[in-house]
Amino acid sequence: MAKQEFQTEVSQLLQLIIHSLYSHPEIFLRELISNSSDALDKLRHLTLVDEAFKSLPFDPRIDLTLDEAAQTLTIADTGIGMNEEDLISHLGTIARSGTKNFLSQLSGDQKKDSNLIGQFGVGFYSAFMVADKIEVVSRKAGEEQAYRWTSDGKTGFDIEPASRETAGTTITLHFNEEGNQYANSWRLQEVVKKYSNHIAFPIFLTYDKSEWNAEEKKSDKIRTTEQVNAASALWRRSKSELTDDDYKELYKSISGDSSDPLFWFHTRAEGNLDYTTLFYIPTKAPLDLYQAEYKGGVKLYVKRVFILDDAKELLPQYLRFVRGIIDSEDLPLNVSREILQQNRVLTAIKTASVKKILSELKSIAEKQPEKYLEFITQYNRPIKEGLYGDYANRETLLDLVRFKSTKVEGMTSLADVKSRMSEDQKAIYYITGGAESLLRTSPLLEIYKKKDIEVLILDDEIDEIVFSGVDKYGETDLKAVNKSSTSDDLKDESEPDNTEAIQPLLDKLKSILGDRVADVRASVRLADSPSCIVSDEDEPSLQMQQMLRAMGQKDMPMPKPTLEINPDHEIVKKLLANPHGTLAEDAAWLLFDQALLMEGVSLKDPATFVQRLNRVLTASI
């Protein structure tokens, strides 16, 4: 029996694996089981397509056999197997171009290397983390002779003829100190369930089971063989094979939610990248939806092997309520969290997944509006968050968001608002800043009511931040009614312009209010109210400023508001006629303060406000 040396790269790789992965050696089992699963896939494929193999028996299974006394574990499969040449080239050299490439990038810098290793498969060699000797007996399908490959993972390997009854591979690990913990049936079952539960083939474990012997009052060790995995990668089956109940059951098992999901989207992508995704929308929003420490709900699999869960990298943050599975054919098993963020394959899957989820939601919105309403009741807000961050999908997100409005009960879509617009309406208007009741009674809406123009009521705290960044829906402008320029749209060319007549009053008010206001203007947006407050284009509204200050931004500069007054209002007309009267100054402040109150802003000096009010009342009653 000839001793053969490892290719130099193999020794290098072995060292690296042992040093960079020692913190979670349990992955050795995931790697070996996935190799067996690949070998079974290959044989199945041959029996389907190759005449010479069609008559071969195909009884796919993976057997783990634990010998606690000997501290060994064997992993046997009935797959394609390896002949002498295969054993040498697959287990003794690094033929895989990816790994070669990887080794050429090695810097010697441990930390960087252990990050790098996640980009490539570690595979078979990871078993040397837990074993000081590995024996592989394999017989290739269609051949008679079997071979035994043995190595201590240090210097090289031996190869010799051996016998094996059927085609397949049996790998025996002689556990080292690190591996001792896996000479334990509980631990093995746990690791198999964690990583390999959805491998399509059955995985059996043979071990000494303790059973209580009541007669002799002691526990007996009984050699037992049990299937460990569920072997149910449902998501890899075609949609037509699956019932609603199948989907619901899988949802419950992966989400921990006991109620049925609202809907699910199952996609199989082939071609450039091969992957399967199955996404679920929970009927009720997850409890941690608005917690900074939320858990991501998507699990990543590579070829049905579980890789990791609650990875926030798998979907954008605003879709954190989505539950489900991404199963890729193209990622290495060893892909790490650090690598996920910059991995091109995953980025492509993520981009396509977001598009898919959003377009499915859009089609539900169109075809099943009632069902969609259930969705939006739970998830309108995260969708708005998407508007803030996901520029690429903004158009679709705008179609998904729903709004309260002055024209309809319940919620409405921008598409519907647009369809209700009259021909000469210049934009879609909305009002933000405060509770719904406050917004609905705002003097800013008066002109819109008068002109019968719909205004959206954006009463969610995040609305102002989100929508200040969204200025168009398709070709149509989106405008906040409390911005100073918005009223330009509303000017009625036919009405006489009385700005000039009112100018002396405006000047007078400005001198009274001084530096509390940026400007005082004649308004075109008021009907019943004498005055209102508007903000400059780029400034946060008064409520927003109030909120930011409450959140601790004390030294935020306070932009001054602009006061608009209604030239047609009785009070304003009287003031104009009598600008120097004793009550003129009180009236000026009352016009300003009441506009602030209507905006939901609390007055700095309520006592003075009340004194003024009382003086005016005394004079007028």
Comparing CB distances to ligand ADP, the nearer of 35 and 546 is: 35
Comparing CB distances to ligand ADP, the nearer of 35 and 405 is: 35
Comparing CB distances to Mg ion, the nearer of 35 and 594 is: 35
- Minimum Å gap between C-beta 191 and Mg ion is 16
- Among candidate residues 476, 478, 475, 524, the one with its CA nearest the CA of residue 502: 524
- Minimum Å gap between C-beta 111 and ligand ADP is 24
- Minimum Å gap between C-beta 349 and ligand ADP is 20
Mapping DSSP to helix (H, G, I), strand (E, B) and coil, where does residue 305 land? Answer: strand
- Chosen from Mg ion, ligand ADP, none, partner binding at 79 (C-beta under 5 to 8 Å by type): ligand ADP
Residue type at 344 in one-letter notation: R
- Minimum Å gap between C-beta 35 and Mg ion is 4
Whether the Cβ atoms of residue 116 and residue 102 lie closer than 8 Å to each other: yes
- Among candidate residues 25, 13, 40, the one with its CA nearest the CA of residue 173: 25
- Chosen from ligand ADP, Mg ion, none, partner binding at 36 (C-beta under 5 to 8 Å by type): ligand ADP
Phi, psi values for residue 3, rounded to 5°: -80, 130
- Minimum Å gap between C-beta 375 and ligand ADP is 41
Comparing CB distances to Mg ion, the nearer of 300 and 456 is: 300
Comparing CB distances to ligand ADP, the nearer of 16 and 278 is: 16
- Chosen from ligand ADP, Mg ion, none, partner binding at 126 (C-beta under 5 to 8 Å by type): none
- Chosen from Mg ion, ligand ADP, none, partner binding at 286 (C-beta under 5 to 8 Å by type): none
- Chosen from ligand ADP, Mg ion, none, partner binding at 561 (C-beta under 5 to 8 Å by type): none
- Chosen from ligand ADP, Mg ion, none, partner binding at 80 (C-beta under 5 to 8 Å by type): ligand ADP
Whether the Cβ atoms of residue 447 and residue 490 lie closer than 8 Å to each other: yes
Residue 414's alpha-carbon distances to 396, 405, 436, in angstroms, are 11, 10, 19
- Chosen from Mg ion, ligand ADP, none, partner binding at 99 (C-beta under 5 to 8 Å by type): none
- Minimum Å gap between C-beta 31 and Mg ion is 5
DSSP-assigned states of every residue in 374-401: HHHHHHHHHHHHHHHH-GGGHHHHHHH-
- Minimum Å gap between C-beta 334 and ligand ADP is 9
Give, as ranges, the residues between 114 and 143 that touch Mg ion (CB under 5 A).
123
How many residues does the structure list for the chain?
Answer: 621
Separation of alpha carbons 572 and 558, rounded Å: 28
- Minimum Å gap between C-beta 34 and Mg ion is 5
Residue 252's alpha-carbon distances to 200, 247, 324, 583, in angstroms, are 20, 9, 10, 71
Q: Provide the 10 A C-beta neighbour count for residue 43.
A: 25
Separation of alpha carbons 26 and 334, rounded Å: 12
Instruction: Please name the residue that has the structure tokens 């070996």.
Output: 32
Separation of alpha carbons 21 and 178, rounded Å: 12
Which tokens sit at 423? 């021909």
Whether the Cβ atoms of residue 599 and residue 533 lie closer than 8 Å to each other: yes
Q: Total number of residues binding Mg ion (CB under 5 A)?
A: 2
Comparing CB distances to ligand ADP, the nearer of 98 and 469 is: 98
- Minimum Å gap between C-beta 432 and ligand ADP is 54
- Chosen from ligand ADP, Mg ion, none, partner binding at 505 (C-beta under 5 to 8 Å by type): none
Comparing CB distances to ligand ADP, the nearer of 93 and 267 is: 93
Whether the Cβ atoms of residue 318 and residue 386 lie closer than 8 Å to each other: yes
Comparing CB distances to ligand ADP, the nearer of 29 and 39 is: 39
Whether the Cβ atoms of residue 241 and residue 268 lie closer than 8 Å to each other: no
- Minimum Å gap between C-beta 387 and ligand ADP is 42
Nearest-CB residue for ligand ADP: 123
- Chosen from Mg ion, ligand ADP, none, partner binding at 534 (C-beta under 5 to 8 Å by type): none
- Chosen from Mg ion, ligand ADP, none, partner binding at 463 (C-beta under 5 to 8 Å by type): none
Comparing CB distances to ligand ADP, the nearer of 79 and 286 is: 79
- Minimum Å gap between C-beta 366 and Mg ion is 45
Comparing CB distances to Mg ion, the nearer of 28 and 279 is: 28
- Minimum Å gap between C-beta 412 and ligand ADP is 53
Query: Is 529 exposed, middle or buried (CB count within 10 Å of its CB: 0-12, 13-18, 19+)?
Result: buried
Comparing CB distances to Mg ion, the nearer of 95 and 435 is: 95
Give, as ranges, the residues between 291 and 350 that touch Mg ion (CB under 5 A).
none
Q: Contact residues for ligand ADP (CB under 6 A)?
A: 31, 35-36, 38-39, 77, 79-82, 90-91, 121, 123-124, 169
Query: Is 207 exposed, middle or buried (CB count within 10 Å of its CB: 0-12, 13-18, 19+)?
Result: buried
- Minimum Å gap between C-beta 276 and ligand ADP is 20
Separation of alpha carbons 524 and 562, rounded Å: 14
Longest dimension (CA), the chain: 118
Please report the beta strands in 164-247, taking only residues with DSSP state E, as ranges in sequence order. 168-175, 203-213, 218-227
Under 8 Å CB-to-CB from 246, ≥6 apart: which residues?
Answer: 234
- Minimum Å gap between C-beta 35 and ligand ADP is 3
Please report the beta strands in 127-274, taking only residues with DSSP state E, as ranges in sequence order. 131-139, 146-151, 156-162, 168-175, 203-213, 218-227, 261-269
- Among candidate residues 9, 7, 24, the one with its CA nearest the CA of residue 105: 9
- Chosen from Mg ion, ligand ADP, none, partner binding at 453 (C-beta under 5 to 8 Å by type): none
The CA-to-CA distance between both ends of the chain, in Å, stands at: 118
Separation of alpha carbons 205 and 63, rounded Å: 6
Separation of alpha carbons 179 and 22, rounded Å: 11
Residue 169 interacts with Mg ion (CB under 5 A)?
A: no
Comparing CB distances to Mg ion, the nearer of 303 and 521 is: 303
Mapping DSSP to helix (H, G, I), strand (E, B) and coil, where does residue 618 land? Answer: helix
Comparing CB distances to Mg ion, the nearer of 33 and 387 is: 33
Contact letters (x/-) for Mg ion, 12-41, by CB under 5 A? -----------------------x------
Comparing CB distances to Mg ion, the nearer of 30 and 299 is: 30
Residue 537's alpha-carbon distances to 353, 394, 523, 559, in angstroms, are 36, 22, 16, 11
Separation of alpha carbons 99 and 12, rounded Å: 11
* Interface residues toward Mg ion, by CB under 5 A: 35, 123
